[in-house]
Amino acid sequence: MKKLLTPVLIGLTILSSTACKHPGKEAEVITTAPENKDDISKNIYVDSYGEKIEVTINKTKNTATVHLNGKTYDLKKVMLYQSIQLPMKSINTLKSREISLS
């Protein structure tokens, strides 16, 4: 019996060491959708005739969406800059006034 116990233990050791060599499970990657951090306000207005107008304003993107009579209107705020050129005489006058006030 003692002679049989040693080969059985060696066999179990070899068997258990080879059984654990399979690749492990890959980690599951879960991606979440980014949260919408826009400042959005939505209002529905009804006039005295019962007509509805739905206005959605996104202050982050400076856009507005209006739903009226089955049509959708997308509006976007655009900043316009105008360049004004002053004559050189006006600039020199301003500089001289600044110097005289100091």
Q: What is the mean pLDDT of residues 73-80?
A: 85
Residues 6+ apart with CB under 8 A from 56: 40, 41, 42, 43, 64, 65, 66
* Range 38-53 average pLDDT: 90
Above 50 in pLDDT, residue 98?
A: no
Q: What mean pLDDT value characterizes the chain?
A: 75
Asked if the model's pLDDT at residue 84 lies above 80, the reply is no
Mean pLDDT of 70-75: 93
Q: How many residues are recorded in the chain? A: 102
4 vs 75 pLDDT, higher one: 75
Give the residue among 75, 68, 61, 62 at the shortest CA–CA distance from 44.
68
